[in-house]
Amino acid sequence: MALDSPTSYADAVAAAVQAAAAYYTDGSTPLGDDEYDALVREIEAWEQAHPDQVLPDSPTGKVAGGAVVGDVPHSVPMLSLDNVFSAGELADWAAGLERRLGRQVDGWCVEPKLDGLAVAARYQAGQLAQLITRGDGLAGEDITHATDAVLGLPQQLAEPIDIELRGEVLLTQEQFDRANEIRLAHGAVPFAHPRSGAAGTLRAKDRPYRIELTFFAYGAVSHLTDLGHTALLERLAQLGANTAATTAAHPLRCATIDEVQQRVEEIAALRAALPFGIDGVVIKADSAADQEQAGSGSRAPRWAIARKLAAVHKVTRLLGVEWNVGRTGVIAPRAVLEPVVIDGVTVTYATLHNPADITRRGLMLNDQVFVYRAGDVIPRVEAPLVDERTGDELPIVFPEVCPRCGDAIDTSQQRWRCVRGRGCEAVASIRYAVGRDQLDIEGLGGTRAVQLVEAGLVADVADLFALTRNQLLALDRMGETSTDKLIAAIETARTQPLNRVFCALGVRGTGRTMSRRIAAHFGSMAAIRAADAEAFAEVDGIGTEKAQVIVTELAELAPVLDKLAAYGVGTEETTPARSAVADVGEQTGPLDGQAVVVTGSMTGPLADLSRNQMNELIERAGGKASSSVSKRTTLLVAGEKAGSKRTKAEELGIDILTPENFAQLIADYLPGT
């Protein structure tokens, strides 16, 4: 809402200054990025309409919103960036820059806007001498004590030159998770999110533990000023500094603004898969001559802009906690939130993982909390804003009995579970077991599963294979035709391969991919049942902890497995991968040794296959199916609208096949051949 009075304007300035101070010191801002940007735009609009009423502490036109200061002067002002928020605004800005120059811009450099803390690293004769925060742009804070924990920031450059690297220090997602493990082990409160963790870590002294961060260079102050921006980044990498060139969102030189817009979209699509947070994309005039002619204002250079992306972190209120029982009897807490829009999606619920996680984070009802969402990832509550508490917060009450059936709760593990296990949610277990990627029993939906369980005919997946025609006909709304179809579907399910039968069991810690690996590794249900934790730990992707969970689950499922064996279900035997020995040079299939990722919509002979069926096909042909592109990927099957996975595969030089070409490669393994 637009500001409508001097009082509302003054209140907005005070809120923006408070938020900026928190953001640029320890990251514990009470406003999300979107809210802060919108607030500053409202302030700017008011000031343009009322230039005689501008307050001296207004954040507009100031580096870091004027919220921070430092005592170490910068050799050259360390400016912020102006922002645009749409493709249209970006095009208008570019056109304005070209009007200022009186000619077309000689190329653009497009790179990710890293969500960390801006720093300047001073080198003398190639030796790191000092690390300074941006501060107010004119002077910053000396944080040289933290340099030994910053990866990508070399103590010694490859050449003995004097130079000042400028860049961003951040916590990657892996470093953030590890940092919170370390902090919890030392009795400290976990970081709210990666940015606050980076800010707090760089300023901390005399901690009894070490937290690693990562530096990404994006510029320099030195004799290299005649280099274009893309060439400068390449030169900094040669000196030994880490740059975004090592990532899928690497800087790219574009000739036109249309190419710039395309690259912005590509980086935005990569956002959820990046190992670190970004809050936008930076576009810079690449030519040193263009930069010099365009010059800079008091706050930002005129030759660079930040195209902001919708925030994936937001602040909202924790209204309640629901306790839901899953198909295996696990009791999972779910946060009920004051609705908040994150990346275009209204979020009202988020995961809380388990009771231990709630306790570790110190969450309370009515807390203001950080909520995170990226791409298709389920939103999660990260941390409370402890400094924003008002005294109205209440403890979260944990259940004393199972909220589904009222029986006792097993609290011996981090994930609490009803003592009845799968018996507590038999309907959910049955619905999962008969799904398309498991037993694929058509005609056995949710309503029918409820009928079977409530009639006492089915208590577990094995009971499905004991159903008779007369039993089904006795159920409401079951005629002869629907009964015969369901009986036929159950009979077909008896012959499902081992991996699908195992997947139908719903063993905790496994899913479709892991079920395929387990079936291939052991070769038979008998071998799977006989395996101990050590044997399961040999399966790719199963560690010691998960292996023990699987063994415990299989022991619990012994009566079900006995019944399945008696009904002839899951009795298929194959040569186990762990004992298969090929002659030298012999291949077990056309995809032997290949790590394959499938993306986009399949066409041709593969058009009717689900993603799970594609993965099964890959593994039958000797390959290993994966869901994400990495350096270990050797082949990408790219269908229509392949998107960011294709882009990343191209950047990594990975072989790419169309669905039709891939079908030719594995023709002998296609269904029906």
pLDDT number for residue 298: 78
Q: Tell me, what's the pLDDT at 362?
A: 87
User: CA dist 366 to 18, 34, 123, 394, 567, Å?
Assistant: 21, 22, 48, 7, 53
Residue 117's DSSP bridge partners are 169
Nearest-angstrom CA–CA distance, 306 and 309: 9
Residue 564, helix vs strand vs coil: helix
Q: Do residues 540 and 625 make contact, with C-beta atoms less than 8 angstroms apart?
A: no
The CATH homologous superfamily for domain 313-410 is Nucleic acid-binding proteins (2.40.50.140)
Alpha-carbon span 568 to 498, nearest angstrom: 12
pLDDT tens digits along 278-303: 989 999 999 999 999 999 987 889 99
Please name the residues in contact with 107: beta carbons below 8 A apart, sequence gap of 6 or more. 228, 230, 253, 254, 255, 285, 286, 287
Of residues 440, 575, 462, the one with CA closest to residue 512: 440
Residue 343 pLDDT = 67
- Per the listing, tokens 């901390």 go with 204
Distance CA 77, CA 70 (A): 12
Rounded CA separation 46/235 (Å):
44
Q: Sheet with 655-657: list strands edge to edge.
A: 624-626, 595-599, 635-638, 655-657
pLDDT digits (tens, 9 = 90+) for 158-169: 999 999 999 999
Parts of the chain with a pLDDT under 70: 1-2, 20-35, 61-70, 343-344, 374-377, 575-588, 672-673
Domain 6-66 fold: Helix Hairpins (1.10.287)
Helix locations, 531-643, DSSP H? 533-536, 544-556, 558-566, 611-620
The residue with tokens 């909520």 is: 371
User: Which homologous superfamily is 421-493 in?
Assistant: 5' to 3' exonuclease, C-terminal subdomain (1.10.150.20)
* Residues involved in catalysis: 113
Dist CA 305 CA 629 (whole Å): 30
Alpha-carbon distance of 572 to 443, in angstroms, equals: 25
Which residues fall within 8 angstroms of residue 622, CB to CB, at 6 or more apart?
587, 588, 589, 590, 591, 592, 593, 594
**Of residues 483, 490, 515, the one with CA closest to residue 567:** 490
Amino acid letter, 486:
L
Q: Which residues contact 417 (CB under 8 A, 6 or more apart)?
A: 328, 329, 330, 331, 409, 410
pLDDT for position 498? 92
CATH topology of domain 595-669: Rossmann fold (3.40.50)
Q: What is the pLDDT of residue 331?
A: 92
Q: According to the model, what pLDDT value does residue 457 have?
A: 93
Phi/psi at 480 (nearest 5 deg)? Answer: -65, -40
CATH number, span 498-579: 1.10.150.20
Supply the pTM of this predicted model.
0.57
For residue 183, the model assigns a pLDDT of: 87
How far, in Å, CA of 244 to CA of 263, rounded?
14
Q: Do domains 421-493 and 498-579 have the same CATH topology?
A: yes
Q: What are the domain boundaries of the chain? A: 6-66, 77-308, 313-410, 421-493, 498-579, 595-669
The third-level CATH classification (topology) of the domain covering 77-308 is D-amino Acid Aminotransferase; Chain A, domain 1 (3.30.470)
* Confidence at residue 530, expressed as pLDDT on a 0 to 100 scale: 92
- Helices of type H across 413-511: 426-433, 446-454, 469-473, 480-493, 498-504
Structure tokens given for 37 = 């940007």
